Amino acid sequence: MMITLQLDSDTPIYEQLRNQIVIGIATGQLEPAEKLPTVRQLADELGINAMTVNKAYALLKQEGYIVIDRRHGAKISPRTPVGAGSQPPPRLEEQLQLIIAQAAIKGVERSQFDSLCDRIFARMRYEPQP
């Protein structure tokens, strides 16, 4: 997976890194149990501080996207789908509410928003595992 950071962005680098790893998981570029580079390796590869990578990995672990084992390093977590009748994670609803609010303020119509969501969702290769 190719990670591209925008150093002049208002989005913190650790958050950009976290977001790209999440997208990599959802699109199938990163598979469950796939080993991620060590903090030092990724920091060197991207030319950023190791503490920045560590912060991104800690956030990914906290959110359940990766597991970290001192002996085996960081790996992509197994996929655990939200079952029918279950509620999505609260943070997801908060994030979607903000995105929808921003779209509404910018004048994006519901049909445009739905079409955009459909296009993006179609790029995801998430297949729940039993």
Question: Is residue 84 situated within a structural domain?
Answer: no
Question: Is residue 52 situated within a structural domain?
Answer: yes
Question: What tokens does 118 get?
Answer: 């459909």
Question: What tokens does 53 get?
Answer: 């990578």
pLDDT of residue 88: 75
pLDDT digits (tens, 9 = 90+) for 6-40: 999 999 999 999 999 999 999 999 999 999 999 99
Half-sphere exposure of 128 (CA within 13 A, CB side): 6
DSSP one-letter code for 63 = T
Residues of the domain holding 55: 13-76
Total domain count, the chain: 2
pLDDT of residue 92: 85
pLDDT of residue 89: 74
The residue among 121 and 128 whose pLDDT is bigger is 121
102 phi, psi to nearest 5 deg: -65, -40
CATH of the domain at 72: 1.10.10.10
Q: Are residues 95 and 72 in the same domain?
A: no
pLDDT digits (tens, 9 = 90+) for 45-55: 999 999 999 99
pLDDT of residue 51: 98
Per DSSP, the three-state class of 21 is: helix
Q: Is the pLDDT of residue 104 over 80?
A: yes
Per DSSP, the three-state class of 69 is: strand
Question: Is residue 33 situated within a structural domain?
Answer: yes
Q: Are residues 65 and 17 in the same domain?
A: yes
Q: Are residues 44 and 19 in the same domain?
A: yes
In this structure, what is the dihedral angle of CA atoms 14, 118, 84, 100, given to the nearest 10 degrees? 60
